[in-house]
């Protein structure tokens, strides 16, 4: 008969006491495993979502973490906005020219490549405009590029796919500029279907509702990213909602002068950062005036006629005229972006571009993964460490329970120990039996606690996936869980020392005669 | 006949609560031959159990020599004595001392758990069958009668194939009708296993059945009226 078998018999003999001791330890271990799992889920969610196909986020000066949180995770409040010209600095000359032509603005903007365009080469820059809500979910104004150029998935190689419908277009005959695509969770929780209209609220979830609605033309498949929690609308439509245009005096008599002032202000800021010819960035009154006359306040019809890239509108300009002519796209000075998602064609250019942007006075560039790592290290990490410490104390209390349970049983077991000694058991043998008993409680408690925690995780796996996009299964473990068993066994060993010492010192003669 | 147990000039005293030492045993010579069955009689408090504990190595003498099968047990370390006891000595207690957490068969196996020999699980079953408990293997002590418990204790004491069996008033807690059978069981089994037997009792009728009767009062030079065990 092995010592483990003897220890097991003793464990079973005091079934209630053993069960309660083991159960309390299981609860402690379960809490530790849950905290570790939550830490793993949070880490994975943040880290995975911080790398959804772009490497930099550009926004106004301020906290890079806040920029990351609001632009990548759609959390927190946007810092401020950047002029549209800042976004144009990431575009090559032909695209800038097309924008000046379509939207109206300083023609000088069309005469050069954007300052950061060479860094982008082969990559992309996608503008975001934030500030409105659909229910509790963020409304994100962006371009159709968002759905074609961004990737997601563990290897960041999966395209966005649609469970229903399609991506919104720049312009459509039916809905003008007001098409929207919903993330999977938004569609599910807001209980909306394709073809419905929704009306964003301004500023916060309970804010004033806009009069302009957006027609839902697509619902994304779940991606496991924050994009599941966003309602995407066409950037042009976003601009056209009341209160979204950057205010510019529009007295017809002085229209050109006002636009000039606005453009100069914007461009002067750029000029300070620019290493290109300063003259290129100094718009003239004539230029702005011309722009404003020909393009500054264009009708949709004009815009559609001028732009070959507005695919849906171009062939059907005549038919769409009646439905859209009440809308005009904003001129460049009236436009702002909250942030810009950047992917460098060559990742080697990213640090140089980040430095160049950060040396300027208006914008900053943040690397989402770096910011999330800082967040994890500075905020989430210590919080979880504190949680772990608390749950660790729970385990220590459970270990004290083991000590009390076994030590209290020693009074009843001195005779048993004396009998075993009389049968030839050495002091070290009876000591080992006590330690094995403690180990059994620790082992069973740890396994039970692990099973409890992972059962709970599995039961909530659907909710976890909905909330974080992280898929968890029964055997999804964090790296640290492997340390739980040795730590608990160590605690059990410490807890067993006192009763084991009592067993070691048990006097055979007096206890046999008792 | 060759002596299995050879005691010479054995003295044992205990420290008294109020200080000072109380001499309990002072035995100049005592032997048990191999295979011999000896009954030691003496009054309560006369040092009988102390003598058994000394022979079993559960207590150390103040002085003197205890040789068992040629081994001077007093010269062994405590661990050595434990091992020697596990392999050489069986013990039957007055109160049986079965472990309540274990079944009958497991209690018997405990008797061979601490020696260095192979665990012979089949032997545990054979022994229980020999004491008439072949249908009680998985009964716990609390589910057995007093007589059955003592039978299990006897089987356990022989499980490790000891050379010497020490029995401390083995029938004291057994009803008179069972006492005879228990005693005969011990004697017969020891005879079959060629185990020497030292039984302490205060019952002369029981002692009379043994090969040899020793009166502790006669071999112990301490005045037993002042001694206590």
How high is the pLDDT of residue A513? 66
SS3 labels along A224-245 = CCHHHHEEEEEHHHHHHCCCCC
Apex A511 CA angle, B105 and B23, nearest 5: 130
For residue A246, give the nearest of A334, A328, A329 by alpha carbon.
Answer: A334
**CATH number of the domain where residue B189 is located:** 3.40.50.300
**Across A245-383, where does the E strand assignment appear?**
336-337, 339-343, 363-366
First to last CA, chain B: 31
3-class DSSP assignment, residue A437: helix
Q: Which residues of A touch B82 (CB under 8 A)?
A: 421, 424-427, 429
Evaluate whether residue B201 is within a structural domain: yes
B55-111 pLDDT tens trace: 998 888 999 999 999 999 888 888 888 888 888 999 888 888 899 989 999 999 888
Residue B53 to residue A426, Cβ atoms within 8 A: no
Report the alpha-carbon distance of residue A32 to residue A30 in Å, rounded.
5
Residue of chain B whose alpha carbon sits nearest to that of A514: B95
Cα dihedral A325, A326, A332, A337 sign: negative
Assess contact for A429 and A4: CB atoms under 8 A.
no
Q: Which residues of B touch A13 (CB under 8 A)?
A: 100-101
Q: Which residues of A touch B101 (CB under 8 A)?
A: 9-10, 12-13, 416
DSSP letter (8 states) at residue A210: P
Report the alpha-carbon distance of residue A105 to residue A459 in Å, rounded.
56
Evaluate whether residue B227 is within a structural domain: no
How high is the pLDDT of residue A340? 95
How high is the pLDDT of residue B118? 60
**Nearest-neighbour CA in chain A from B211: distance (Å):** 26
Q: Residues 116..175 of A with a Cβ closer than 8 Å to B: which? A: none
A365, A366, A367, A369: CA torsion to nearest 10? -160
Q: Which residues of B touch A509 (CB under 8 A)?
A: 53, 58-59
Evaluate whether residue B61 is within a structural domain: yes
A-B contacts (CB, under 8 Å): 77
What is the domain count for chain B?
Answer: 1
Quote the domain boundaries for residue B117.
3-219
How high is the pLDDT of residue B113? 82
Residue of chain A whose alpha carbon sits nearest to that of B51: A509
* φ and ψ at residue B211, rounded to 5 degrees: -60, -40
First to last CA, chain A: 26
Spell out the residues 6+ positions from residue A171 whose beta carbon is closer than 8 angstroms to its own: A177, A236, A300, A304, A310, A312, A313, A320, A324
Per-residue CA distances from B24 to A349, A356, A501, B220, B225 (Å):
96, 99, 30, 9, 10
Residue A429 to residue B114, Cβ atoms within 8 A: yes
Assess contact for A461 and A224: CB atoms under 8 A.
no
SS3 labels along A3-71 = HHHHHHHHHHHCHHHHHHHHHHHHHHHHHHHHHHHHHHHHHHHHHHHCCCCCCEEEEECCCHHHHHHHH
Report the alpha-carbon distance of residue A480 to residue A43 in Å, rounded.
13
A300, A302, A303, A305: CA torsion to nearest 10? 120
Whether A193 contacts chain B with CB within 8 A? no
Identify which of B85, B93, B101 has the shortest CB distance to residue A12. Answer: B101
A391-431 pLDDT tens trace: 788 888 888 888 888 888 887 788 888 899 888 888 999 99
Assess contact for A208 and A171: CB atoms under 8 A.
no
How high is the pLDDT of residue B119? 57
For residue B90, give the nearest of A295, A423, A460, A407 by alpha carbon.
Answer: A423
Evaluate whether residue B67 is within a structural domain: yes
Q: Which DSSP helix (H) or strand (E) runs through A127? A: strand A124-134
Secondary structure tally for chain B: helices H, strands E: 8, 9
What percent of the residues of chain B are helix, what percent strand, and what percent coil, each to the nearest 5? 35, 25, 40
The pTM (predicted TM-score) of the whole model is 0.67
Assess contact for A397 and B60: CB atoms under 8 A.
no
Neighbouring-strand partners of residue A202: A132
Whether A421 contacts chain B with CB within 8 A? yes
Residue A509 to residue B59, Cβ atoms within 8 A: yes
Residue A372: CB atoms within 10 A of its CB come to 24
Assess contact for A29 and A484: CB atoms under 8 A.
yes
**Across B52-102, where does the E strand assignment appear?**
63-68, 71-72, 89-92
What count of Cα atoms within 13 Å lies in the side-chain half-sphere of residue A284?
A: 5
Q: Which DSSP helix (H) or strand (E) runs through B12? A: strand B3-15
Report the alpha-carbon distance of residue A283 to residue A432 in Å, rounded.
89
Report the alpha-carbon distance of residue B168 to residue B135 in Å, rounded.
27
Residue A25: CB atoms within 10 A of its CB come to 29
Q: Which parts of chain B register pLDDT below 70?
A: 1, 116-120, 224-229
For residue B137, give the nearest of B147, B153, B118, B124 by alpha carbon.
Answer: B124
How high is the pLDDT of residue A276? 38
Evaluate whether residue B181 is within a structural domain: yes
Q: Which parts of chain A register pLDDT below 50?
A: 252-325
Evaluate whether residue B175 is within a structural domain: yes
Evaluate whether residue B229 is within a structural domain: no
Strand duo B89-92 + B164-168: pairing: parallel
Evaluate whether residue B226 is within a structural domain: no
Q: Which residues of A touch B89 (CB under 8 A)?
A: 424
**Across A264-412, where does the E strand assignment appear?**
336-337, 339-343, 363-366
DSSP letter (8 states) at residue A380: I
């Amino acid at each position: 008969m092995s010592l483990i078998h003897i220890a097991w018999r003793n464990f079973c003999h005091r079934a209630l006491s053993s069960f309660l001791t083991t159960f309390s330890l299981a609860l402690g271990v379960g809490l530790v495993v849950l905290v570790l799992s939550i830490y793993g889920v949070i880490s994975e969610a943040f880290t995975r979502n911080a790398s959804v196909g772009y490497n930099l986020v550009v926004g106004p000066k301020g906290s890079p973490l806040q920029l990351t949180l609001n632009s990548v995770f759609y959390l927190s409040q946007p810092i401020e906005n950047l002029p549209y010209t800042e976004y144009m600095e990431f575009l090559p000359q032909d695209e800038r020219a097309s924008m000046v032509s379509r939207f109206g603005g300083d023609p000088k903007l069309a005469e050069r490549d954007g300052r950061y365009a060479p860094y982008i080469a082969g990559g992309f820059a996608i503008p975001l405009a934030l500030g409105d809500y659909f229910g509790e979910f963020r409304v994100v104004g962006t371009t159709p590029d968002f759905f074609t150029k961004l990737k997601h998935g563990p290897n960041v190689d999966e395209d966005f796919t649609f469970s229903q419908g399609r991506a919104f277009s720049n312009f459509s005959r039916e809905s003008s500029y007001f098409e929207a695509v919903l993330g999977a969770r938004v569609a599910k929780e807001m209980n909306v279907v394709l073809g419905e209209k929704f009306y964003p609220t301004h500023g916060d979830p309970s804010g004033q509702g806009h009069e302009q609605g957006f027609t839902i033309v697509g619902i994304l498949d779940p991606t496991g990213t924050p994009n599941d929690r966003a309602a995407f609308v066409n950037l042009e439509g976003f601009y056209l909602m009341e209160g979204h245009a950057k205010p510019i005096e529009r007295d017809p008599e002085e229209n050109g002068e006002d636009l000039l002032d606005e453009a100069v202000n914007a461009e002067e800021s750029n000029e300070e950062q620019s290493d290109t010819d300063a003259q290129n960035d100094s718009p003239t009154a004539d230029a702005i005036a011309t722009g404003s006359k020909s393009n500054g306040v264009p009708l949709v019809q004009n815009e559609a006629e001028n732009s070959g890239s507005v695919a849906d509108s171009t062939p059907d300009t005549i038919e769409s005229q009646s439905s859209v002519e009440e809308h005009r796209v904003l001129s460049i000075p009236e436009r702002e972006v909250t942030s810009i998602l950047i992917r460098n064609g060559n990742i080697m250019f990213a640090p140089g571009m980040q430095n160049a942007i950060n040396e300027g006075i208006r914008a900053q560039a943040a690397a989402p993964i770096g910011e999330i790592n800082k967040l994890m290290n500075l905020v989430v990490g210590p919080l979880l460490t504190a949680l772990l410490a608390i749950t660790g104390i729970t385990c220590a209390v459970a270990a004290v329970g083991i000590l009390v349970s076994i030590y209290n049983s020693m009074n009843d077991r001195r005779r048993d120990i004396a009998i075993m000694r009389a049968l030839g058991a050495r002091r070290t043998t009876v000591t080992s039996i006590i330690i094995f008993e403690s180990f059994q409680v620790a082992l069973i408690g740890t396994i039970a606690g692990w099973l409890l925690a992972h059962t709970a995780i599995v039961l909530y796996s659907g909710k976890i996936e909905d909330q974080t996009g992280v898929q968890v299964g029964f055997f999804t473990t964090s790296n640290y869980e492997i340390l739980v068993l040795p730590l608990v066994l160590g605690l059990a060993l410490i807890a067993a020392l006192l009763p084991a010492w009592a067993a070691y010192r048990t006097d055979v003669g007096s206890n046999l005669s008792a | 006949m060759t002596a299995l147990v050879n005691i010479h000039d054995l003295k044992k005293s205990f420290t008294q609560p109020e200080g000072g030492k109380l001499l309990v045993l002072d035995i100049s010579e005592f032997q048990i031959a191999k295979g011999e069955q000896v009954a030691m009689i003496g009054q309560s408090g006369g040092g009988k159990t102390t003598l058994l504990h000394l022979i079993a190595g559960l207590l150390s003498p103040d002085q003197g020599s205890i040789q068992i099968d040629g081994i001077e047990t007093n010269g062994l370390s405590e661990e050595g004595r434990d091992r020697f006891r596990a392999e050489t000595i069986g013990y039957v207690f007055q109160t049986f001392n079965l472990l309540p957490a274990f079944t009958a068969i497991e209690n018997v196996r405990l008797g061979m758990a601490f020696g260095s020999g192979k665990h012979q699980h089949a032997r545990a079953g054979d022994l229980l069958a020999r004491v008439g408990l072949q249908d009680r293997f998985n009964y716990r002590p609390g589910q057995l009668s007093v007589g059955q418990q003592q039978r299990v204790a006897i089987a356990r004491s022989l499980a490790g194939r000891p050379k010497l069996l020490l029995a401390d008033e083995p029938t004291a807690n057994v009803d008179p009708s069972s006492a005879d059978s228990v005693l005969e069981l011990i004697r017969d089994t020891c005879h079959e296993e060629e185990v020497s037997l030292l039984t302490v009792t205060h019952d002369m009728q029981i002692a009379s059945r043994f090969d040899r009767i020793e009166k502790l009062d006669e071999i112990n030079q301490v005045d037993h009226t002042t001694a206590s065990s």
